[in-house]
Amino acid sequence: MFWGFKYTRVLLGGLLALHVLWIGTHLYLVKNHQLNAWKLGGYGMYTRPSPRFRLNAHVEGLEAREKWRSNPNFSAENWYFVLPCRSISASRIASFYQDNPEALGKTTRLLITIRSFERYPVKSEYVPTVELTIRWPDDKTFTWESKVCEQQSKGKGQWPH
């Protein structure tokens, strides 16, 4: 009985310590890695508008089209931009073409904007966070240049991924 009581207290204390540790980690990730404050425990919920993302695309030869699908593959593969500064990978880019196969082989520019919150003046705007230019040297290969949270990078991927 006594040991059971002690065990429960230790377990609860440990869980509380882990929770506090996670809160600190969450705050650090929100501040330094732009983690969506509403996610992964949501310790910033109801303290600012939810930082949702928007996909803006420009596909060569399909300029008339304004709306591009970001679901289900693109959103899921990009973790709904909950961690927007995560480096770009071929699979993250390929997911756009899985959702929008008509854009395959065409030079594509993607701009991801994420809702921010500022005060005085109090406003909420969609701020450019991820910029991507994707080119197709041939039918099976794509290359990209990206600017993610001010960090530039390049890469190459295969289709189908």
Partner 1 sequence: MLAACAQKLLAGTYLDGPYITYLSYKGGTTEQLFGFLCEREQALAVGCGWHQFIGIFLVAWQAIVGLLLLSGARSPIILFVEIAFLIGAGVYADELNFQVLNIAFLCIAFGVGMARWLAIICAVMLLVDFFSLTRIVEHVLGL
Residues of this chain that bind partner 1 (CB under 8 A): 23, 27, 37, 43-49, 117, 119-124
The distance of closest approach from Cβ of residue 89 to partner 1 in the complex, given in angstroms and rounded to an integer, is 31
Q: Which residue's CB is nearer to partner 1, number 4 or number 121?
A: 121
Torsion of CA 146, 88, 23, 54, to 10 degrees: 70
Nearer to partner 1 by C-beta: 27 or 62?
27
Nearer to partner 1 by C-beta: 31 or 140?
31
Determine the Cα–Cα distance for residues 64 and 73; give it in Å rounded to an integer. Answer: 23
Say how far apart CA 111 and CA 80 lie, in whole Å: 14
Least CB distance from residue 121 to partner 1, whole Å?
A: 5
User: Please, what sign has the CA dihedral across residues 38, 26, 131, 120?
Assistant: positive
CB of 31 to partner 1, least distance (A): 10
Q: Look at residues 136, 129, 133 and name the one whose alpha carbon lies nearest to residue 154.
A: 133
Provide, rounded to whole angstroms, the least separation between the CB of residue 116 and partner 1.
12
